Chains A and B, each alone.
Chain A
Amino acid sequence: MSEAFIIAVPAKGRLQENAESFFARAGLTLLKPRGARDYRGSIADVPAIAVAYLSAAEIVEALAEGGAHFGVTGRDLVHELISDPDQRSIFIDDLGFGHANVVVAVPQAWIDVRSMADLDDVASAFRLKHERKMRVATKYVNLTRGFFAARGITDYRIVESSGATEGAPAAGTAELIVDITTTGSTLAANGLKVIEDGIILRSQASLVASRQAKWGVLERDTARIVLDRIAAQKRARAVREVRTRFAACDDALLAQAKQRFGVEAPFGGPTSSGMLTLHCPPQYVHALASLLREQGADHVSVMRLEYVFSRSNSLYTKLESGL
């Protein structure tokens, strides 16, 4: 197994489900041959790959140390747990799920604190009045320090928290918190509010490659297969295929459609009989269909696509140039 190409995937919960369906859409079906409780898996038709089901922090560690080639993880953890993320990992793509923000939140009772500038002022006043610094409970020690430093806030102390951070102010173990939130409802339930310019990081699940892993010819080939499928699925999701045929369909019309709707003609311009296949961003499909009919088309068909494979693969290029 040590020779395998390893993809690290969250071991439980919504993130695991979302990651599995993301890979499945890309034609990479995750299998657990020894049952659902197994922490090792594989991918249906790519035997070179081993899937490792790990906890969120373990995934980041595996990426930082080279124990996995690819990992599905949140940006928040990459930036928190790896001190030099660009040296150790390559960000390949956002995956479109697991959205959450790392935010600065203070008690709702602090009605005079709306901005980080307010917080800076209050922090200094707090130290002078109480002879100690304001405490910030968080598990995001590095993100907090970097964000506060960039805003010139120095009068605070970090209290590391490993769970239920939002309860710290009410419990009296901290004055404010930095934590991850999706809707803010947990914060509100604990009498906290997010500071307006206190969003430290907008995070979502991402595909990240390790720079520390072994990247020989075999590993690169495997990566190319995986990224080819992901890119093909991504491209397919981003467009609708629009087909038509009519005599007046010419290069001038194509140029107009490109300019107005950003369409592409993956198989070239109209044929001599006026046959044309376009890839159009979903939001312009109806406008494009109207334009084509105004110009003489009798029929315009629009399809969702499964995959769009291209010779060039921007995701693989990203990996290659990062290695």
Chain B
Amino acid sequence: MSAADSTRNDALIAAFQRAGYLRVVPPILQPAGPFLDLSGEDIRRRMYLTSDAQGHELCLRPDLTIPVSREYLASAAVGRPQGFCYLGPVFRQPRAVTDGVSEFWQAGIESFGRTDTAAADAEMVSLGLEAAAHFSLNEPAIYLGDVGLFSALVAALDLAPAWKRRLIKDFNHKSTLAQDLDLLAIGAAQAPPEYQGVLNALAGSDPKAAHALVTDLLSIAGITAVGGRSVGEIADRFLEQAALGAKASLPKEVRALIERFLAISGDPDDAAAELRTFADDSKIALDASLDLFENRTGFLAARGIAVDRIRFSTAFGRGVDYYTGVVFELHDAQGRIAGQLVAGGRYDGLLTRLGSAKPIPAVGFAVWIERLATLQGDT
């Protein structure tokens, strides 16, 4: 069955358009930089890369979120709420020579500029379910997560900035997150860094003194500053490390707290109740994120989604760096096909990183056409 010439695909895109989303057809050939910058270098081995005569790196689009975001930023609607839908091929190198195809079709929606966050989030899940229904899949398994909750937890913890940065970064890579927690917990047992003397000298000093010390150290060593970091940046990090040295290890109770948080899962209503208890017990303010979470659940229910069908987990992430809020995936409940059928989430930071002067909220999802078509062919 060809993914391209199906009337069913046209019906899907027409439904998106009726829901108010403007169809866009971004070029297949895209600048490679934004994908590598925003999705991480790891995506490089999945991309088909080429270059033009000027040496600019180009790629066949590996997904449409970034191309559609760029179209929006270049459009007259930029800054105002506007939703887009798309349908077309994307290109990714198979992970192994033996498996998978390199070109497949995706449909999807990207919604920009809406400030009614909870309602917009719920609409994405709802439209994702409708997309699955177009392929006669009526009861997919719904997996839901919320990156914002973990960020709120980390922000509220009494931790050094270096560790906060790391925990947030590694939330998307669960194996390294576990390592981080181990490292944090055994921090005191680690050998002190060789520059412990510098840290001791810096303990309690102010940024200005630290700056002067680093400048002196560099000039004593005869190093003329090269490389993209300033003396100030190096001094700041020494100060951070000095502060970290004062309490190098994570108190047991903080680690237990993070683990208890990441164990919370279930349907969204139960999980929300559990999270409220957790916040009260641990005196950690998660109010704003939890209000949004419960609001969203309300909108999901209002859209006729049986909330008790949703499998929420605080630990659920999609392994993509740019998500900042809700993330979700729809899977075949009977497990006939591996991998997500529909997946998406909120990426409020992305448009700034693509060059927007002010932050623009954004949320969207993609539909894996061939996977759904295969399932439909099965039944």
Contacts and interface: CB of A to CB of B under 8 A. Distances in A.
B42 A107 contact: no
A135 B57 CA distance: 15
Contacts of A152: 169-170, 173, 176, 179
Nearest to B170: A152
6 contacts: A109-B224, A111-B214, A144-B41, A154-B41, A154-B321, A175-B227
B259 interface: no
Contacts of B179: 152
Contacts of A129: 233
Interface in B62-98: 96-97
Given A107-B227, A109-B225, A121 B165 contact: yes
Interface stretch (B215-223, B285-293, B304-312): B215-223
A57 interface: no
Interface in A34-85: 83-84
Determine the interface band of chain B, counting residues with CB < 8 A from chain A: 35 or more
A-side interface mostly: mixed
B210 to A, nearest CB: 11
A30 interface: no
Interface string B318-349: 00010000000000000000000000000000
B41 A112 contact: no
A204 interface: no
Contacts of A132: 37
B-side interface mostly: helix
Interface in B209-242: 214, 217-218, 221, 223-229, 231, 233-234, 237-238, 241
A131 B356 CA distance: 12
B41 A145 contact: yes
A175 B226 CA distance: 9
Interface string B277-311: 00000000000000000000000000000000000
A124 B241 contact: no
Contacts of A126: 228-229, 233
B228 A172 contact: yes
Given A109-B218, A152-B176, A175-B229, 8 more contacts: A107-B225, A114-B194, A125-B162, A125-B233, A142-B45, A154-B40, A157-B36, A157-B37
A122 interface: yes
Nearest to B36: A157
B239 to A, nearest CB: 10
A158 B57 CA distance: 12
Contacts of B234: 109-112
Which 5 pairs across A and B sit closest by C-beta, in order of nearness? A107-B227, A152-B176, A175-B228, A124-B165, A169-B227
Interface in A147-162: 148-149, 152, 154-158
Among B169, B226, B231, B353, chain A packs the most CB atoms within 10 A around the CB of B226
B37 A133 contact: yes
Among B97, B228, B231, chain A packs the most CB atoms within 10 A around the CB of B228
Contacts of A84: 96-97
Contacts of B97: 84, 87
B56 to A, nearest CB: 12
Contacts of B233: 125-126, 129
Among B169, B193, B221, chain A packs the most CB atoms within 10 A around the CB of B169
B44 interface: yes
A189 B359 CA distance: 43
A243 B219 CA distance: 64
B260 interface: no
A256 B170 CA distance: 56
Given A84-B97, A121-B237, A152-B173, A107 B40 contact: no
Contacts of A93: none
Contacts of B238: 112
B166 interface: yes
Contact of A110 (B44, B162, B170, B229): B229
Contacts of B169: 124, 152, 154-155
B162 A170 contact: no
Contacts of A155: 169
A110 B227 contact: yes
A199 interface: no
A106 B227 contact: yes
A55 B322 CA distance: 42
A108 B224 CA distance: 9
Interface in A83-113: 83-84, 87, 106-112
A169 B225 CA distance: 11
A141 interface: yes
Nearest to B55: A160
B226 A112 contact: no
Contact of A149 (B42, B214, B237): B42
Contacts of B166: 120-121, 124
Nearest to B241: A112
A225 interface: no
A141 B226 CA distance: 23
A109 B40 CA distance: 26
B170 to A, nearest CB: 6
A155 B36 CA distance: 10
Interface in A270-291: none
A176 interface: yes
Contact of B226 (A125, A156, A157, A191): A191
Contacts of B198: 111
Contact of A156 (B41, B194, B229, B352): B41
Contacts of B42: 145, 149, 154
A121 B165 CA distance: 8
Contacts of A172: 228
B23 to A, nearest CB: 32
A61 to B, nearest CB: 17
Given A114-B194, A125-B237, A175-B227, A158 B36 contact: yes
Contacts of B40: 154
A157 B227 contact: no
A175 to B, nearest CB: 4
